[in-house]
Chains A and B, each alone.
Chain A
Amino acid sequence: MKKLWEVCAILSVAALCGGAIAQDKYPDQPIRLIVPFPAGGATDLVSRVVATELGKATGWAIAPDNKPGSGGSVGLSLGGKAKADGYTIVMAQNANLVINPLLGVGNYDPIKDFEPVLLVASSPMVMIVAKNSQYESVEKIIAAAKAKPGSVRFGSPGIGTSGHLAGELLQQLSGAKFLHVPYKGISQALPDLMGGRIDLFVGSAPSVMAQIKEGTLHAVGVFDKKRATDLPDVPTFDELGYSGSEAITWWGVVVPAGTRKEIVDQLNKEINAVLKKQETQAQFKNAGADVLGSSAEEFAGLIQSDVPKWKLVIERADIKKR
Chain B
Amino acid sequence: MELLNNLSLGFGVALTLGNIGYCFIGVLLGTLIGVLPGIGPLVTISMLLPITFGMPPVSALIMLAGIYYGAQYGGSTAAILVNLPGEVSSSVTCLDGYQMARRGKAGYALATAALASVIAGFIGTLAIATLAKPLSAWAIEFGAEDYFGLMVMGLVSATVLSNGDLAKSLGMVMFGLLLGLIGTDVNSGIERFTFNVPELADGIGFSILAVGLFAMPEVVSNLGQKETREVFTAKISGVMMSWAEFKAILPPSLRGTTVGGLFGMLPGVGPTVSAFAAYMVEKKVSKDPARFGLGAVEGVAAPEAANNAASQTTFIPTLTLGIPGSATMALIFGALVMYGVQPGPTVMVRDPQLFWGVVASMFVGNVMLVALNLPLVGVWVRLLTVPYRWLFPCIIMFCAFGNYTVNSSVVDVYVCAAIGVLGYVMAQLDCPPAPMVLGYVLGPQMEEYMRRALLLSGGDSMVFLRSPLSLFFLVVAALLLISMSIPAIRRKKHIVYEEKSEAEAKA
Contact = CB atoms under 8 A, between A and B. Distances in A.
Nearest to A70: B201
B199 A191 contact: no
Contact of B143 (A69, A103, A197, A211): A197
Interface string B174-214: 00000000001011111100000011011000000000000
Interface string B443-469: 000001000100110000000000000
Nearest to B318: A187
A184 B143 CA distance: 15
B144 to A, nearest CB: 7
Contacts of B56: none
Contacts of B140: 191, 194-195
Contacts of A40: 49, 330-331, 333-335, 337-338
Given A38-B407, A69-B201, A159-B187, A188 B337 contact: no
A138 B408 CA distance: 43
A45 B333 CA distance: 13
A159 B186 contact: yes
Contacts of B406: 38
Contact of B191 (A153, A158, A322): A322
A158 B338 contact: no
Interface string A175-208: 0000101111001101110110110000000000
Contact of B267 (A38, A77, A103, A187): A187
Interface stretch (B233-241, B320-328, B486-494): B320-328
B407 A214 contact: no
A45 B334 CA distance: 10
Interface string A40-81: 111011001000000000000000011111110110010000
Contacts of A48: 53
Contact of A191 (B184, B323, B324, B344): B323
B199 A69 contact: yes
A214 B53 CA distance: 27
Given A184-B448, A188-B323, A194-B140, A105 B408 contact: no
A242 to B, nearest CB: 25
A182 to B, nearest CB: 6
B38 interface: no
B221 interface: no
Contacts of A38: 46, 334, 406-407
Contact of B323 (A105, A190, A195): A190
A70, A190, A319 — most chain B CB neighbours (10 Å): A70
Interface in A16-41: 38-41
A179 B270 CA distance: 31
A320 B50 CA distance: 38
B343 interface: yes
Contacts of A68: 407-408
B49 A184 contact: no
Interface in B277-298: none
B342 interface: yes
Interface in A132-160: 153, 158-160
B139 interface: yes
A82 interface: no
A187 B202 CA distance: 17
B29 to A, nearest CB: 18
A283 B337 CA distance: 11
B198 A77 contact: yes
Interface in B5-43: none
Contact of A322 (B144, B189, B321): B189
Given A77-B198, A187-B323, A188-B267, A211 B408 contact: no
A84 interface: no
Given A69-B202, A213-B346, A39 B189 contact: no
A50 B187 CA distance: 35
A173 B143 CA distance: 32
B76 to A, nearest CB: 29
A198 B139 CA distance: 16
A318 B335 CA distance: 37
B456 A45 contact: no
Contacts of A216: 345
B141 interface: yes
Interface string A280-322: 0001001100000000000000000000000000000001101
A11 interface: no
B342 A160 contact: no
Residue of B139, B188, B189 with most chain A CB atoms under a 10 A cut-off: B189
B186 A158 contact: yes
A209 interface: yes
A210 interface: yes
Contacts of A73: 198, 201
B246 to A, nearest CB: 40
Nearest to A153: B456
B345 A214 contact: yes
Contact of A319 (B189, B323, B343, B455): B189
A211 B322 CA distance: 9
B409 interface: yes
Contacts of B346: 210, 213-214
Given A70-B198, A190-B323, A287-B337, A211 B190 contact: no
Contacts of B338: 39-40, 44-45
Interface string B291-307: 00000000000000000
B497 interface: no
Contacts of B46: 38-39
Interface string B397-435: 000000000111100000000000000000000000000
A20 B488 CA distance: 80
A216 B321 CA distance: 10
B142 interface: yes
B184 A322 contact: yes
B407 A69 contact: yes
Nearest to B47: A39
Contact of B187 (A71, A179, A182, A190): A182
A293 B184 CA distance: 34
Give 8 nearest A-B pairs by CB, closest first. Answer: A40-B334, A159-B189, A210-B344, A286-B340, A70-B201, A214-B345, A210-B342, A187-B323
Given A67-B407, A184-B448, 17 more contacts: A40-B331, A41-B334, A42-B337, A48-B53, A68-B408, A77-B198, A153-B456, A159-B186, A160-B189, A181-B452, A183-B452, A190-B323, A192-B144, A195-B141, A197-B143, A322-B189, A322-B190
